[in-house]
Amino acid sequence: QVQLVESGGGLVQPGGSLRLSCAASGFTFSNYAMSWYRQAPGKERELVASITSFGGITNYANSVKGRFTISRDNAKNTVYLQMNSLKPEDTAVYYCKTSLWRDFWGQGTQVTVSS
């Protein structure tokens, strides 16, 4: 079955960095685009970044452009989100998603940016 498992979240000070990973299984990973979303308390889930199947095209929310980088390793069936210069407003649960015949989501990983 399709599974997406995020990891790498945690508590970090403002200005710090984290790298999130999303390990995929149950489908042909290299055939599908992948996305990272986040949801802060009391807010709607929002798209953070997306990447095409072979990584040729990436897109970012304006709020993270220049600070976050999405990448993928198709040999490892893993998509990454490198987050630099983190701000308190980046605090959220981060989810990876893929769209096959329907959307599949991971369980999420908490990122907290606080001093």
pLDDT tens over the chain, length 115 residues: 999 999 999 999 999 999 999 999 999 999 999 999 999 999 999 999 999 998 789 999 999 999 999 999 999 999 999 999 999 999 999 999 999 999 999 999 999 999 9
pLDDT of residue 71: 96
- The number of beta carbons lying within 10 Å of the beta carbon of residue 31 is 11
pLDDT of residue 8: 98
Residues present in the chain in total = 115
| Structure-token pair, residue 91 | 């605090």
> Integer distance in angstroms from the first to the last C-alpha of the chain?
40
Which residues have C-beta within 8 Å of that of residue 26, sequence separation ≥ 6? 1, 2, 3
pLDDT of residue 103: 97
| SS3 of residue 89 by DSSP | helix
pLDDT of residue 54: 84
Q: How many angstroms separate the CA atoms of 109 and 8, rounded?
A: 7
pLDDT of residue 77: 97
Where are any strands of DSSP class E within the chain?
Answer: 3-7, 10-12, 18-25, 34-39, 46-51, 58-60, 68-73, 78-83, 92-99, 103-105, 109-113
